[in-house]
Structures are given as structure tokens and as C-alpha cells.
Amino acid sequence: TFQGAVLLSVAGAVHGLAHGIEAPIDSGFGYAVGFMITTASLHLTGIALANRFQPYARRMLGRVLGGAAAMLGAILFAGTSA
């Protein structure tokens, strides 16, 4: 939603300001470049891991939901036959 986007933008700006305050005065450019490289690396690693394990997560979700449905069916069956 729009409100969520605004809240996230404000939180991101405040977070970035906090890191900017931590930057050393004499080498702020190097700090900023290192920070951007590290942030990009973390994002790319997260995207790669998500793409790598997404097929397994979908199968696992199907198995978990299927098992839950089977257990619920067994519980309902046991309750009606008693």
C-alpha cells in the first residue's frame, strides 16, 4: 500500500542517516563505496539463494499442506467413526 511504501521510505532514510553519521570524516567516500558494494553483495546473495531454493520451498509447502490436510481428514474420520 501507499502508506507502507511511505513508512518504509522514511525508515530507510533514517537508517541511512544513522550510517552516514557513523562514517569517518576523513574518508567518507571510501566508506560510502564500501557500504554500497557490501549492500549490493548482500542483496545479490539473497536473490541468488532465493532463486536456488525456491523450487524446493514450493515442493515443501505442497507436502506440508498436503500432510496437514491428510491429518485433518484422519482426525475428522476418527471423530465420526467413534
CA distance 9 to 24: 25
Confidence bin at 10 (pLDDT 50/70/90): very high
Is it the case that residue 5 has pLDDT exceeding 70? Answer: yes
CA distance 45 to 6: 26
- Please check whether residue 82 is in contact with residue 74, taking contact to mean a CB–CB distance below 8 angstroms: no
Q: Is the pTM of this model over 0.85?
A: no
CA distance 43 to 62: 27
Radius of gyration of the chain (CA): 24
- Please check whether residue 23 is in contact with residue 31, taking contact to mean a CB–CB distance below 8 angstroms: yes
- pLDDT digits over 16-65, tens only? 888 888 778 787 788 888 888 988 998 899 888 888 877 777 778 778 88
